[in-house]
């Protein structure tokens, strides 16, 4: 799975992070629904799912050492607007210990994506739910 920072890897290992959001690339045109491709039929404007439910992936982290021992199973993937995140889902993003999980998530999002996908632009994102299923063989 794409790169996580140290804090998020710890949240995954502690069981506090079970969801991640990633920008959909390219972004759908404004004022349109976000179609996505599930492998059935053809739609050239559709975005392809980055992962499929049931798929096994390994975590990578951005602090110089691979966290390839963490094995995840994808539970669900769906498109949504970034600002649709609920307080509960912000906690599933790993922000349990913050007074306002949504604001903490927003600040973290902008620290990573503000240049291309700022919070205020309310980009389309993939909401990817996963569970830790063990360590790499």
**The two three-digit tokens of residue 8, written as one number:** 């998020």
pLDDT greater at residue 36 or residue 27: 27
- What is the CATH code of the structural domain delimited by 3-135? 3.10.400.10
Give the pLDDT mean for 9-19.
91
Give the pLDDT mean for 25-38.
68
Per DSSP bridges, beta strands 19-23 and 3-4 are unpaired
Helix (H, G, I), strand (E, B) or coil at 92: helix
Cis (ω within 30 of 0) for the bond into 110? no
Query: How much is the pLDDT for 60?
Result: 75
Give the pLDDT mean for 82-91.
95
Confidence of residue 35 (pLDDT cuts 50, 70, 90): low
Confidence of residue 132 (pLDDT cuts 50, 70, 90): very high
Burial of 125 (0-12, 13-18, 19+ CB in 10 A): buried
Query: How much is the pLDDT for 44?
Result: 46
Q: What is the mean pLDDT of the chain?
A: 83
Using the predicted structure, report yes or no on whether residue 38 has a pLDDT greater than 90.
no
Helix (H, G, I), strand (E, B) or coil at 28: coil
Q: For the segment 56-84, what is each residue's pLDDT rounded down to a tens digit? A: 998 876 665 555 678 899 999 998 999 99
């Amino acid at each position: 799975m794409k790169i996580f920072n140290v804090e998020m890897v710890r949240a995954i290992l502690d069981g506090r992070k079970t969801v991640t959001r990633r920008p959909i690339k390219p972004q759908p045109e404004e004022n349109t629904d976000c179609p996505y491709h599930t492998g059935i039929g053809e739609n050239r404007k559709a975005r392809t799912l980055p992962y499929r439910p049931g798929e096994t992936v390994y975590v990578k982290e951005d602090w110089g050492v691979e966290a390839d021992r963490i094995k995840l199973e994808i539970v669900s993937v769906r498109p949504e607007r970034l600002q649709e995140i609920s307080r509960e889902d912000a906690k599933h993003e790993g922000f349990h210990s913050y007074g306002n999980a949504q604001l903490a998530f927003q600040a973290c999002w902008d620290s990573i994506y503000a240049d291309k996908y700022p919070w205020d632009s309310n980009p389309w994102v993939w909401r990817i739910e996963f569970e830790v299923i063990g360590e790499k063989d």
